[in-house]
């Protein structure tokens, strides 16, 4: 069986744990740092971190446009800062997004780093409901989303995991949970 080649954007942020989970699920993982790396993968995770730093680095390394192109064509999952970049609009100082998924997001919505927290959330993306321990680290909040977008999990009335076709955006850090549930779900999307 040919192993699937999955990329994890490794410009900045929490890419290492995503790599470990994907490897444990049997994927070939490429840490994506260049345009060439993008041509060797079938799907991509954009990890959490700091979205402003990521944007600056992506532009500096001339990766922004190639990344946008890749994300429009292939399955992609953005977590936390990655979700911010995938949004259609960042309602926070008019920052530029990749505009891949149809939702509006705002940053640092639950306070400062010290206010980060963990909460159990119910995932409703498959037939049976799963409970996931979700780590919110200076997390963003999805404020509104279009009709093509489905909320697969919510916290305090706001969607925290959304799907639009083969794209996922998650405002928490699934790589820090004990289960690989969300990664497996992402790998099932085509």
Is 18 annotated in the active site? no
- Name which of 7 and 48 has its Cβ closer to ligand GLN: 48
- DSSP assignment of 8-59, as one string? EE-SSSSHHHHHHHHHHTT-EEEEE-SHHHHTT-SEEEE-SS-HHHHHHHHH
Rounded distance, CA 158 to CA 169, Å?
13
Which tokens belong to 77? 């999952």
Position 135 contacts ligand GLN (CB under 6 A): no
The single residue among 43, 55, 138, 183 that binds ligand GLN, judged by CB under 6 A, is 138
Position 81 contacts ligand GLN (CB under 6 A): yes
Position 46 contacts ligand GLN (CB under 6 A): no
The single residue among 12, 51, 163, 177 that binds ligand GLN, judged by CB under 6 A, is 51
Position 48 contacts ligand GLN (CB under 6 A): yes
Token pair 């402003």 in the structure block, residue: 52
Q: Which of 174, 150, 10, 155 is nearest to 77 (CA)?
A: 174
Is 175 annotated in the active site? yes
Is 80 annotated in the active site? yes
- Name which of 129 and 144 has its Cβ closer to ligand GLN: 144
Rounded distance, CA 32 to CA 36, Å?
9
- Name which of 71 and 105 has its Cβ closer to ligand GLN: 105
How many other β-carbons are positioned within 10 Å of the β-carbon of residue 146? 11
**How many residues contact ligand GLN, by CB under 6 A?**
12
| Binding-site ranges for ligand GLN (CB under 6 A) | 48-51, 80-81, 84, 107-108, 137-138, 140
């Amino acid at each position: 069986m040919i192993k699937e080649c999955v990329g994890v954007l490794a410009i900045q942020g929490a890419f290492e744990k995503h790599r470990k989970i994907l490897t444990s699920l049997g994927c070939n993982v490429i840490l994506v740092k260049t345009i060439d790396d993008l041509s060797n993968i079938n799907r991509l995770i954009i990890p959490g971190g700091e979205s402003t730093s990521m944007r600056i680095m992506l532009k500096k390394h001339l990766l922004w446009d190639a990344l946008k192109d890749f994300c429009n064509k292939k399955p992609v999952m953005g977590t936390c800062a990655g979700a911010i970049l995938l949004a259609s609009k960042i309602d926070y100082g008019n920052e530029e997004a990749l505009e891949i998924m149809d939702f509006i997001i705002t940053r640092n919505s639950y306070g400062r780093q010290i206010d980060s927290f963990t909460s159990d959330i119910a995932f409703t993306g498959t037939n049976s409901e799963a409970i996931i321990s979700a780590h919110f680290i200076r997390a963003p909040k999805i404020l509104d989303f279009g009709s093509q977008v489905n909320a697969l999990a919510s916290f305090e009335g706001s969607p925290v995991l959304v799907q639009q076709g083969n794209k996922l955006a998650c405002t928490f850090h699934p790589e820090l949970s004990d289960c690989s549930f969300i990664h497996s779900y992402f790998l099932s999307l085509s």
